[in-house]
Structure 1
Amino acid sequence: MKTLLRVSAAALMAISLSSAFSVSAEGIPADKIATLREAPLNIEPTPPVMQKVINSDVKEVRNYPMQPPVIPHKIDGYQLNLNVNKCMSCHARTRTGDSQAPMVSVTHYMDRENNFLATLSPRRYFCTQCHVPQLDAKVLVPNEFVDMDTLIKADVKKEAKH
């Protein structure tokens, strides 16, 4: 009986605390509430047109050491599962002569202890967990990234002035 009383008291206290700390949007004008929603909840808007994949086959410059290269071509319809890895039909070391595609890094043939394997490492098998195709899309958030080479050049110029 005492346990039931304690549980009931705790539940009552939790309910009263949650109502004391809850914030209500009632009374706040709709234009004052920050939201990314473009339509009311009861209307299903037409989704925007999907952006096109950049299919240039031009190798992109990396922004920092160890950045995985981006995929410079379409991969729509590529099969990538436990049985098949379509990427390796061009990027495997035995196929690069025919395809002229860059070979995957030797790190993809290493296990966790840095031992070299005869085949692709299981932890590097699913390419799209690190490598992604690029879209021809508008920038949603401005990028203020400055790469290391630019920082070093700016520092050298600053030191030369002093």
Structure 2
Amino acid sequence: MVAQSVPQLSGPPQQMDSLPAKPLPKWNVDDVRKMRAYPDQPPVIPHSIEGYQLSVNTNRCLSCHKREFTEGSGAPMISVTHYITREGQMLADVSPRRYFCTACHVPQAESNPLVGNTFRDMSDMGVKLMGEEH
């Protein structure tokens, strides 16, 4: 009796077919820094990271982007915010909470968006900067 009064949550059972996966899109690897879509957006990765090791013991990103290596590599330095703990204490090395770069920073690929987007930048909506004529 109880089973009849409780509606099914999953709908009719579906057959477990194996479908071919769509091919992965090609990464943008032009090494050109991209414009950010909104303030405080983490920068996207403009180069290939295929084969990069990112583990508790190794972070290949830091071999170019850490402050002391940027002059030799020509890579942009990671933000000073990555050296600050949650409590606001400045560290000599990257904070453990900022160590896994791909938690926020992602490579870009040419692909269609999964969902529609109506985002408009403030400059596209006629918002003027302070000091500009009205």
Alignment TM class, shorter chain as reference: 0.7 to 0.9
Q: TM-score, normalised by structure 1?
A: 0.70
Residue 92 of structure 1: aligned partner: 66
Structure whose alpha-carbon radius of gyration is higher: 1
Alpha carbon RMSD of aligned pairs, Å? Answer: 2.1
Residue 4 of structure 2: aligned partner: 16
Fraction of identical pairs, as percent: 46
- 1: CA distance between counterparts of 2:80 and 2:24? 35
Contiguous gaps of at least 5 residues in structure 2? 129-133
- 2: CA distance between counterparts of 1:93 and 1:106? 9
Q: How many positions carry a matched residue from both structures?
A: 127
Residue 146 of structure 1: aligned partner: 120
Residue 56 of structure 1: aligned partner: 30
Q: Cα 1:140–1:85, aligned 2, differ >3 Å: closer, same or farther?
A: same
Q: How does 1:66-145 map to 2 (within 5 A)?
A: 66-145=40-119
Cα deviation code 1:8-40 (max 9, x no counterpart):
xxxx5x42321xx34866xxxxxxxxxxxxxx8
Q: Answer with 137-146 or 53-62: which moved more.
A: 137-146
Query: Which structure carries more relative contact order (alpha carbon 8 Å, separation 6+)?
Result: 2
Tell me which stretches of 4 or more aligned residues in structure 1 moved more than 6 Å: none
If each structure's helix is expressed as a fraction of its own residues, which one has the higher value? 1
Q: TM-score, normalised by structure 2?
A: 0.83
What code does the residue aligned with 1:17 have?
A: S
